[in-house]
Structure 1
Amino acid sequence: MLQFTVKRLVVALLVALTVSGLSFGLIFLSGDPAVAIAGEGAQQSDIEAVRHRFGFDRPVVVQYVDWVGDVLAGDLGDSFYFSRPVADLLADRIPVSATLGGLAIALAIGLAIPLGMTAAVYRNRLADRISLLIGTIGQATPSFWLGLMLVWLFGVKLRWLPVSGSESLTHFILPALVLGYYAVPSMLRLCRTGMINALQSDYVRTARAKGLRPRQVLFGHAIRNAILPVVSVATVEFGFILGGSVVVESVFSIKGVGLLAWESIGRNDFPTIQAIILLYSMIYVWLTFFADIINAWLDPRIRVS
């Protein structure tokens, strides 16, 4: 297990290094950042002053090395628009987005696994078709449209739930439902397929032959192998949920990292955009790493291979 963990850690570090380079390079994709910061109609002397002030006149490799050193030291630069350290901005917003993402993925897992198990146990019957229909609707429904419909129904018409802000957990119910429902289909189908394969396996037939009750067979033997792919996808979906929060946080006016990204893009706040891209990328890389470790712990065949 230790050897497997070390190998996966080396891969994760290499991917993180690559992602850091891509995150740094994104600031130059839209052209000369000094021109964007100086604004339209700026004179060449003003552009050169901006270029010198922010170090854009230095070699790109030197800029990258200095940037990586600052990031490792916890210095993500200063926001052009908010005139605050980007690290402080993220420190204020990350808990909000983490709460939203955690509730969303918990909701998604809480729906996907029971629905997937039900669909597998009652394969090709009404319960199976209803479960797959729920998943198909979730995959086909745009998150911004679903969010607006929930705002209209539960916030405007019924007045059951707040539709903006993040002051209490009730403010997270609707946005978590939107984000979580979008992640249900992939996990539902994987759970269904894994459970069907598990129920047809030799060890499950042996358990049945020993006289174990169906509930013992299902929860004591089949579910462990059936949820292996769900664990991997759940970690990936959590990364997608954090990325998708840009739209949902804008719809529900939740002051998290997603809304900060939306505001920064519209204002050409390059240091903030750069830091958010790096943050989301690192979260995705390390979630994948931990998913590999969890899968190897659940299934020894993975680390042996």
Structure 2
Amino acid sequence: MMRYILKRVGLAILVAFTVSLISFSLLYLSGDPAVALAGEGANANDIESLRVLYGFDRPMLVQYGDWLWHALQGDFGQSYYFKLPVASLIADRLSITMTLGACGISFALLTAVPLGVAAAIRPNSIVDRVALFLSVAGQALPSFWFGLILIVLFTIKLGWLPASGSTGWQNYVMPTVVLGYYAMPAIMRLTRAGMLDVLNSDYIRTARAKGAGEWRVMFKHALRNAIIPVVSLAAVQMGFMLGGSIVVESVFALHGAGYLAWESIARNDLPTVQALILVFSMFYIVFTFLADVLNAWLDPRMRSS
């Protein structure tokens, strides 16, 4: 097990290094950063002064090494727009996005996994058709449109939930449903497919022949093996939720890290965009690593392979 974990740690470090290189390259993919900072009416002297001030005149490898060294210490520089340290900006906003992401993936798992299991136990039944409908609807509904529909229904019509803000748990109900509902279809389909495949296995027939109860067969023998790919998918979805919560946070005016990313992109605040891409990617890498370790614990064959 330890050998497997060490291999995964090495792979995670390699991916993190690649992501850091891509994040830094964004500074130059959009053009000359000194020109972008100076604005349209700036003259050549102003642009050159900014280039020297921010160190853009140095070799690119030197800039990357300096940026990476400071990033490893939690220093991402200063925001061009907010005029504040990028690290403090992200720290102030990240808790909202983390809370929303955790609630979203919990809602998706608690809804999709039971539905997927029920659909596999009774294929072509009413439950299976309802699960299929929810799966198709989840992929077809744009998240921003779904969020607006919920606001109209539960805020304007019924007055049950607030449409914006992050002061209480009520503010997270609708964003959680929107963010989690988008992840439900893939988890539900994978759970259903995995359960159908496992329920036709020889060891399931053997367990039933030995007189094991149906609940024991389903949840101890079948679900443990069927859930392995779902764990990996949930890790990917969690990383996607953290990085892809920009739309949901914008609709519900949740000023989290996703909303900060939208503000930074709109205002050409490149240091903040760089740092957010790196932070979201690190979360994605960590979640994927933890999912690999959990899968290896659930299925010893992965460790031996």
TM-score, normalised relative to structure 1: 0.99
Q: Alpha-carbon deviations, 1:128-176, whole Å to 9, x = none?
A: 1111111110011100100111111111111100110000111001011
**Which ranges of structure 1 fall in alignment gaps of 5 or more residues?**
none
Q: Which residue of 1 aligns with 2:42?
A: 42
Q: How does 1:10-29 map to 2 (within 5 A)?
A: 10-29=10-29
Q: Is the 8 A contact 1:9 1:289 kept in 2?
A: yes
Residue 199 in 1 paired to residue 183 in 2? no
CA contact (8 A) 1:198 1:222 kept: yes
Q: Where does residue 137 of structure 2 map in the other structure?
A: 137
What residue is the counterpart of 1:116 in the other structure?
116
Task: Specify the SS of the correspondent of 2:244.
Answer: helix
> Aligned residue pairs: how many?
305
Task: Report the Cα offset of residue 213 of structure 1.
Answer: 1.8
Alpha-carbon distance between aligned partners in 1 of 2:216 and 2:225, rounded to the nearest angstrom? 14
1:176-215 Cα distance to aligned partner (Å, 9 max, x none): 1100000001110110011111111111111110112211
Partner Cα distance (2:165, 2:119) in 1: 37
Matches within 5 A, 1:153-302: 153-302=153-302
Q: How far apart, CA to CA, are the structure 1 residues paired with 2:289 and 2:118?
A: 30
CA contact (8 A) 1:179 1:244 kept: no
- Residue 55 of structure 1: aligned partner: 55
Residue 220 of structure 1: how far off its partner (Å): 1.7
Choose 21-30 or 281-290, whichever is displaced more.
281-290
Note the C-alpha offset of 1:252.
Answer: 0.4
Q: Deviations over 1:105-135 (max 9, x none)?
A: 0000011100100110011222111111111
TM-score with structure 2 length normalisation? Answer: 0.99
> Residue 94 of structure 1 aligns with which residue?
94
| Counterpart-to-counterpart distance in 2, 1:155 and 1:262 | 25
The aligned runs of 1:75-90 (5 Å cut-off) are: 75-90=75-90
Tell me, in whole angstroms, the C-alpha distance in 2 between the residues paired with 1:115 and 1:246. 28
Matching residue's letter, 1:23: S
Contact 1:261 1:273 in 2 (8 A): yes
C-alpha distance in 2 between matches for 1:243 and 1:72: 20
- Whole-Å Cα distance in 2 between the matches of residues 50 and 176 of structure 1? 43
SS at match of 1:155: helix
Q: In angstroms, what is the RMSD of aligned CA positions?
A: 0.7
Aligned AA for 1:254? L
Deviation at 1:219, TM superposition (A): 1.2
Q: Equivalent residue for 1:127? A: 127
AA in 2 matched with 1:229? P
Aligned AA for 1:119?
Answer: A
User: What whole-Å deviation, never above 9, does each CA across 1:38-61 have from its counterpart, x for those lacking one?
Assistant: 111111111101111110010000
Structure-1 separation of matches of 2:127 and 2:264: 46
* Equivalent-residue separation in structure 2 for 1:34 and 1:197 (angstroms): 57
**How many angstroms apart in 1 are the aligned matches of 2:74 and 2:214?**
54
Amino acid at match of 1:106: S
CA deviation after TM superposition for structure 1 residue 66, in Å: 0.2
Aligned equivalents of 2:255, 2:236: Cα separation in 1: 23
Partner Cα separation in structure 2 for residue 223 and residue 115 of structure 1: 13
**CA distance in structure 2 between the partners assigned to 1:7 and 1:266 by the alignment:** 39
Q: Runs of 5+ in structure 2 lacking a partner?
A: none
Q: Could you list the runs of 4 or more consecutive aligned residues of structure 1 that deviate by over 3 angstroms after TM superposition?
A: none
* Secondary structure, counterpart of 2:58 in structure 1: coil
Which amino acid in the other structure matches residue 295 of structure 1? N
- C-alpha distance in 2 between matches for 1:2 and 1:18: 25
Tell me the distance in 2 between the aligned counterparts of 1:188 and 1:243: 22
SS in 2 for 1:208: helix
